[in-house]
Amino acid sequence: MAVMAIGLSSPLLAQTQSARPATAARTAPLQGTLLVLGDSLSAEYGLTRGTGWVALMTQRLQAKQIKLEVVNASISGETTAGGRTRLPKLLERHRPALVVIELGGNDALRGLPLTATETNLREMAAAARQAGARAVILGMKMPPNYGRAYAQAFSDLYVRVASTEQASLVPFMLEAIADRIDLFQSDRIHPSEQAQPLILDTVWPVLAKAIQTR
């Protein structure tokens, strides 16, 4: 029996090719600068230098050969108002590809209005986006003694800001250690050196996704 060859223009071949699953586009990590704007939780308060979660993140980026230079602009005691004031010059100086915003805890500890905290976070995320950077917001939660309504309102503002400003969100950066008194320093506010790898592991999945780009 003669076998008829199927040419390149054959409808059958075209149908076969169209039925094949499309190959997913490869992703490549961002390059440039990763700016961290935070408070004492990111500024290694009470820790040996080089042991905080930001330093550990830098090491992990290097190990994964992700070419992001980390600039840690965190200051102990910083509020969202302070961060909002400092951010424009930091954006101009470093021109980051990614901005990690870890602020708000001190606002709550000082009893500052939640509306102001939300506005400041929103403005920082918007400024990062307008500067061409992606934003990752690290959320915080207040302990029960602040009252259920206040704690919920505080947690919710991070969700709203991330949603409206197209930022990535880690709902609670201390999720893995919040119930572990043994992983806090004697002030019971600042995480210990042993807690830092757990903090990084909480932040990393969201951060890694933000780093990847088409």
Look up 40 and say whether it is catalytic: yes
3-class SS string, the chain: CCCCCCCCCCHHHHHHHHHCCCCCCCCEECCEEEEEEECCCCCCCCCCCCCCHHHHHHHHHHHCCCCEEEEECCCCCCCHHHHHHHHHHHHHHHCCCEEEEECCHHHHHCCCCHHHHHHHHHHHHHHHHHCCCEEEEECCCCCHHHCHHHHHHHHHHHHHHHHHCCCEEECCCCCCCCCCHHHECCCCCCECHHHHHHHHHHHHHHHHHHHEEC
Among candidate residues 76, 155, 190, 201, the one labeled active-site is 190
Look up 94 and say whether it is catalytic: no
Among candidate residues 39, 40, 94, 107, the one labeled active-site is 40
Among candidate residues 18, 182, 186, 187, the one labeled active-site is 187
Look up 190 and say whether it is catalytic: yes
Under 8 Å between Cβ of 68 and 31: yes
Catalytic residue numbers read 40, 187, 190
